[in-house]
Structure 1
Amino acid sequence: MLYLLGVLIMVVGIAASIALHEIGHLVPAKLFRVRCTQYMVGFGPTLWSTRRGETEYGVKAIPLGGYVRMIGMFPPRAGDGGRLRASSSNPMHLMIEQAREESLEEVRPEDHDRVFYRLPVWKRVIIMAGGPLMNLALAFGLMAVLLMSHGVAVATPSISTVATCANTDVENEDCTGQPLSPAAEAGFEVGDTIVEVDGTPVQDWVSTTYAIQNAGEQATFLVERDGARQTLTADLVLRERPLIGPDGEALGLDDDGDPITGRVGFLGASPTVVMEKQPLTAVPPVVGEMFTGTAGIVLTLPQRLVDVSQAAFGSEERDPDGPMSVVGVGRVAGEVTQDGAGGALETMGDRMWLLVSLVASLNMALFVFNLIPLLPLDGGHIAGALWEGVKKTWARVFGRPEPGPVDTAAALPVAYVVAIGLLGMTALLIYADIVRPVQLF
């Protein structure tokens, strides 16, 4: 039941994100008096609809997107009123003209100033950017609620566990045949708080780890225990581990793309992790990291899809940072709700907050992906409007006649290719998420 609850929550989150994305288009379109005939969430057969004024609102059977139908998306062809030339024998040209004809059929005589293509460039950009910006606002809002209400996990220099043995893969706690861990041999106890390492004050576990890394074979710790301070000296075990900087980030990558490693000290103590609520000022940097991470995935999408294909039809593992379909996202949500990310999340509240972060990430993906400057994505319409603005500005500066609207209908062949590609990508991801799902936990 908990698994189904997680899936249901994610389905609702996805549907709400899509619905609000389309609201981001609908509201400015109506403000600018564009006649909108349909507002639909989903594709395919209509499950439910109602009419309010001149707009039909409804839900369709396939929840993989949505649309707002605005009249006059494509301008008429210059010189002939946009009528279809039946004499043309070019199939591509016939396809373009048929789409143009169908777009103009909805235009009534009284709609002369209510068609999309007649709007000023800035209004068209606002309408088409409204959807992605709504997703950005949702991502920001959800992360603000998450960070300010629940907080982020922060590892403190307070000790939660002390390893008994130096070899962490040995489960025998009496350490028969194995040396004690440096922490156990030095006398560390659960509840100790590390104050200094070799005379350097530490505030969190990141600074503690960095100090231990640079301590060499022996380190002196000033710890606070039961209100009193005492000094403990540990003979560290040197191990090959990734090197970090003062900020806790990896120092870099080697020629193979792996983190740079070195022989650093191992103490054998784990930190206490607490949730710290963050101020509003902490939200923009987090959202910025979400954006750059998502943009990196989108920019490398072809190669990532090749990796997904090799995993789906071969023996390789899925990249945990790679793309997933709605099936994969639903599975992750179900696993989070059912077992708490492999037991890492003990309370149901923590599990719900993780689902909130998943919905926020989904909205960031919708924001970035829809800005790709290709039809039928929103970015394609934005690019067409901006190109028209450049042409009109150029003509105005050089005193030339103002050019007509950019004929976005001419890009329909590209739009169909992109749409087919998106369908193929969706099918591949769904198949991969079924036969070889991403293992996050």
Structure 2
Amino acid sequence: MEILVMAGQLILGLSILVGLHELGHLLAAKAFGMRVEQYFIGFPPKVWSIRRGGTEYGLGAVPLGGFVKISGMIDESLDTEQMKAEPQPWEFRAKPAWQRLIVMLGGIIVNIITGIIIFVAITYKNGDTFLSVNDAKYGIVAHELAQQIGLRTGDKIVAINGKPFNNFNDVLSSDVLLGNNSTYTVNRAGEQVVVELPNDLVDKFSDKKSAPKFIEPIMPFEVGELMKGMSAEKSGMKPGDRILSVNNQPTQYFHEVQQIINANKGKAVAINVQRANQVKTLNVAVSPEGTIGFYPKSLLKLTTVNFTLGESLVRGTERAFSVIFDNIKGFGKIFRGEVSASKALSGPIGIAQNLFGGIWVWDRFWFVTGLLSMALAFMNALPIPALDGGHSVLLLYEMVSGRKPSDRFLEAAQRVGMVILLGLMAFAIFNDVFKAFY
């Protein structure tokens, strides 16, 4: 069922974004009097279509994409027959270069506008809920990856890159993970210690074995939701229980419970819980994976800040464009060899698994869709033949030099671009499958 939910979210999200992207091309082309022959969401074979105003609108059977076919334009269809005839007034090639450039940028512009609208709406609706540094007063849990760079459980991070901060989430922000020579300043038993982060730290986050194991706040907790049919529920554990000890070892924080349970995989443990004014002892079987089947409910105080519409416009726009800036930083790390491309790049399978997840949560769906909208705009702006950015570079050359590239050159560039894109797509899908099983 989780696979269906992940696939459904991915298909819906990409269909919305691709549909809007291609709509940007269509509207710009029609505004300049160009004939748009086809507008499709999805790739052939055709599932359904209808013709309106000289344009065929339809749905393709392969949902991860779409296209607009504009008369007189060499595109991914590589239909060059019409290019042999004299240019007609309604064709793409007959229009001024500046109009053709706007048509090519239409999809990117619409994706950017879509991403901004989504992030502004999310910011206005939900505000910002976070754990402040002052409320993360018990320090951090340093997992193996954190310990490797010099952090210790109980450290309190008081500055990032030498600057104080308020939001605990900032310790894992893109400025830290995608930046260079980042540092944490920690309070360790009253002493100030500077911990340097390696520039390839984000590469280790791409490893599925260590990605979730870095740092988290030390968390007092009570038992939250129980998993149906798991041993915690069978033992009589209830939401709201406070775990006092496991196998007579006192526990106050969630990571302490995790450590003891993980050390008793496949065994039974005695858990003392406080329920109202009573203390009960429960015998709970630990799974071979080291779980008993409950979600912790944090007792750390969270801070919520709400924003006016004007503030949401500013913050939402900043959040949207931060996706593009983060992509630029990420590509920079790949080119410098600090991040492995095989770990950093994901295809549709990786996006569905790592971003959407197996539970349909509308807030998360729209957040990921907004993120993908900005990422799609960035990727399409890359100067690769067959992408909007590649077409735009050639049009800018024409505008500056006054010389239009020949149709033969444009056809060759389109073929090369298609080979590059198909190769990247094949690499991303193979990489997703490899990471899922190895």
Question: Counterpart in 2 of 1:410?
Answer: 409
Query: Is the CA contact 1:294–1:364 (under 8 Å) kept in the aligned structure 2?
Result: no
Distance 1:432 1:46 in 2: 29
2:109 match: secondary structure: helix
Q: 2:101 aligns with which of 125, 139, 152?
A: 125
Distance 1:372 1:157, change over 3 A: closer
Question: Counterpart in 2 of 1:335?
Answer: 357
Q: For the pair shown, which has the larger CA radius of gyration, 1 or 2? A: 1
1:101 is displaced (CA, Å) by 4.3
Question: Counterpart in 2 of 1:383?
Answer: 393
Distance 1:2 1:289, change over 3 A: same
1:143 match: secondary structure: helix
1:69 match: secondary structure: strand
Question: Counterpart in 1 of 2:8?
Answer: 8
1:247 is displaced (CA, Å) by 4.0
Distance 1:143 1:265 in 2: 38
1:120 is displaced (CA, Å) by 1.6
5+ residue gaps, structure 2, are 144-153, 191-216, 220-299
Distance 1:162 1:281 in 2: 31
Aligned residue pair count: 312
Query: Is the CA contact 1:42–1:61 (under 8 Å) kept in the aligned structure 2?
Result: yes
1:56 is displaced (CA, Å) by 1.0
Distance 1:44 1:168, change over 3 A: closer
Distance 1:2 1:304, change over 3 A: farther
Query: Is the CA contact 2:11–2:64 (under 8 Å) kept in the aligned structure 1?
Result: no
Q: 2:187 aligns with which of 264, 288, 301?
A: 264
Question: Counterpart in 2 of 1:436?
Answer: 435
Distance 1:299 1:27, change over 3 A: farther
Point out the more displaced range, 243-252 or 65-74.
Answer: 243-252
Query: Is the CA contact 2:72–2:93 (under 8 Å) kept in the aligned structure 1?
Result: yes
Distance 2:409 2:187 in 1: 61
Q: 1:104 aligns with which of 63, 74, 83?
A: 83
Distance 2:417 2:334 in 1: 14
Distance 2:11 2:74 in 1: 33
Distance 2:186 2:353 in 1: 39
2:383 match: secondary structure: coil
The one-letter code sitting in structure 1 at the alignment partner of 2:389 is G
Percent identity, aligned pairs only, is 23
Distance 1:334 1:20, change over 3 A: closer
Question: Counterpart in 2 of 1:140?
Answer: 116
Distance 1:55 1:305 in 2: 48
1:127 is displaced (CA, Å) by 0.8
Correspondences of 1:32-431 after superposition (within 5 Å) = 32-73=32-73, 101-104=80-83, 112-156=88-132, 159=135, 163=138, 210=158, 244-247=162-165, 259-260=182-183, 264-265=187-188, 272-278=301-307, 279=311, 280-298=313-331, 307-309=340-342, 318=343, 322-333=344-355, 335=357, 337=359, 351-392=361-402, 405-407=404-406, 409-431=408-430
Distance 1:358 1:409 in 2: 40
Distance 1:414 1:167, change over 3 A: closer
Distance 2:140 2:27 in 1: 62
1:371 is displaced (CA, Å) by 1.1
1:35 is displaced (CA, Å) by 1.0
Distance 2:141 2:74 in 1: 66
Query: Is the CA contact 1:375–1:414 (under 8 Å) kept in the aligned structure 2?
Result: yes
Distance 1:104 1:299, change over 3 A: farther
Query: Is the CA contact 1:50–1:58 (under 8 Å) kept in the aligned structure 2?
Result: yes
Distance 2:339 2:137 in 1: 44
5+ residue gaps, structure 1, are 76-97, 171-180, 183-207, 214-241, 310-317, 339-350, 393-402
Point out the more displaced range, 370-379 or 291-300.
Answer: 291-300
TM-score, normalised with respect to structure 1 = 0.60
Question: Counterpart in 1 of 2:29?
Answer: 29
1:23 is displaced (CA, Å) by 0.3
Distance 1:168 1:17, change over 3 A: closer
The one-letter code sitting in structure 1 at the alignment partner of 2:433 is I
1:156 is displaced (CA, Å) by 3.4
Distance 1:325 1:10 in 2: 11
1:421 is displaced (CA, Å) by 2.1
Distance 1:435 1:368, change over 3 A: same
Query: Is the CA contact 1:71–1:104 (under 8 Å) kept in the aligned structure 2?
Result: no
Distance 1:260 1:434 in 2: 35
Query: Is the CA contact 2:74–2:410 (under 8 Å) kept in the aligned structure 1?
Result: no
Distance 1:408 1:300, change over 3 A: farther
Distance 2:116 2:53 in 1: 33
Provide the aligned C-alpha RMSD in A: 4.0
Query: Is the CA contact 2:122–2:367 (under 8 Å) kept in the aligned structure 1?
Result: yes
Query: Is the CA contact 1:158–1:272 (under 8 Å) kept in the aligned structure 2?
Result: no
Distance 1:5 1:128, change over 3 A: same
